[in-house]
Amino acid sequence: MAAEATRHYFDHAAHSPLRPAARQAWLQAADLVGNPAALHASARRSRAALEDARESIAADLGAHPTEVVLTSGGSEADTLAVWGGVRGRASSGRDLVVISAVEHPAVGELARQWPGTLIAGVDPTGSVMMDELARLVGPSTAVVSVQTVNNEVGVVQPVAEAAEIAHAAGAWFHTDAVQALVSPGLDFSASAADLVSVSAHKLGGPVGVGALLVRREVAPAVTGLGGRQERDLRSGTQSAALAAAFAAALHESVASREAERVRMARLRAELLAGLAAAGQGEGVRVNGGEVVNPAIVHLTAPGVRADDVLLLLDRVGIDASVGSACRAGVHQPSEVVLAMTGSTQDALSSLRFSMGWSTTDDDVAALVRELPRALARARGV
């Protein structure tokens, strides 16, 4: 059987390959038996592994272990924070939620489920308009939610300012920091956030585990039924193996954060310079403004359909995306780009290339070589 051709992976913002350290940690903890909530010796060993992982995660995120609520991932953490937050405060007269127009679907869908959801617009770079956010937040606001880094265009939001606006009105502030753990990074104790969502599989951990960081004085409503594990907020048998793998991936990511930030900036610069040198830079817009996570490169290429470009790249071994992978594989115009520009054509002509721990110089060289060809073919040149 012929060996499979080399593929070049540029979809880390959707799912990053499993780090060897995370795989090893998972395999070691997977041999443990016993429900961590039980009392026998086997269960106590599982509980010890679970709590060791929690302490490691807390240390790497600047949190206290009691502030780490393990979840199935970022989407569940977002739901616990925002849905649980507004339900927990509604009885006291705080029944409004304020979010940005470019939130992850786990937060954005709340606008369709909770009538008291107000949406702050964004400027053409995707950055939340703070004057509009301040106008919407008031005495009836329960929770304000603004992503730290937008998962599609990579813009870094002014979350400290957003938190200040929320707290001035007595609201809790939540941020989805799933894309922020490498750049700009997260220190929960030093941040102004009350609730922060993170996920393992965006940084080389396994799918199926994440965390909601919750200040000890903050108590969202319970959103599910069951044994009420995880500070009574999240029911379900905990997985020591998933927690251990998450902790290992996070620790490795945090330890190499500064070097990776520099490396991502270099690879981004090489990609954009190569695109310009190939004559495809003209007319191709780089989105996100000046303050971005360098690992996310979001481009709008007028005159092409993003789907056509992705298929052409896929044929030559390059994996990329059009944006969020949380739409069950159904490509619709990007709601993020629509919020930024109001243009359906732009929303259908935009692509995302996201890098991570396993991205190499060879990967970027392949993309620099093949992307101009794909754009030219998609334009019929």
The CA dihedral of 183, 186, 187, 191, to the nearest 10 degrees, is 100
> Which residue in 90, 326, 365, 376 is the catalytic one?
326
> Dmax of the chain from CA atoms?
69
Beta bridge partners of 46: none
The structure tokens listed for 231 are 């500070």
Place of tokens 């609520």: 69
326 classed as catalytic: yes
- Rg over alpha carbons for the chain, rounded to the nearest Å, is 21
Amino acid in the structure at residue 105: P
Contact 351, 310 (CB under 8 A): yes
Contact 322, 376 (CB under 8 A): no
Task: Answer positive or negative: Cα dihedral of 344, 16, 231, 186.
Answer: negative
The structure tokens listed for 165 are 């606006």
Contact 318, 369 (CB under 8 A): no
Contact 127, 349 (CB under 8 A): no
Amino acid in the structure at residue 205: G
Contact 379, 304 (CB under 8 A): yes
Beta bridge partners of 70: 211
For the annotated catalytic residues, the residue numbers are 326
